[in-house]
Structure 1
Amino acid sequence: MRILFFLVAVLFFLFQAAPASSQETSDTVTCRQSRGSCSFVPCAAPSVDIGTCRGGKLKCCRWAPSS
Structure 2
Amino acid sequence: CLFLCVCVCLFAAYSQEAGDTIACRQSRGSCSFVPCSAPLVDIGTCRGGKLKCCKW
Which TM-score applies when normalising by structure 1?
A: 0.60
| Structure 2 gaps, min length 5 | 1-12
Aligned to 1:42: 35
| Structure 1 gaps, min length 5 | 1-18
Q: Structure with the greater relative contact order (CA < 8 A, sep ≥ 6): 1 or 2?
A: 2
Out of 22, 29, 53, the residue aligned to residue 60 of structure 1 is 53
Between Structure 1 and Structure 2, whose CA radius of gyration is higher?
Answer: 1
- Superposed CA deviations along residues 25-49 of structure 1, whole A, max 9, x for unmatched, are 1110000000000000000110000
Aligned to 2:10: none
Which TM-score applies when normalising by structure 2?
A: 0.71
Matches within 5 A, 1:1-67: 19=13, 22=14, 23-63=16-56
User: Kindly, what percent of the aligned residue pairs are identical?
Assistant: 79
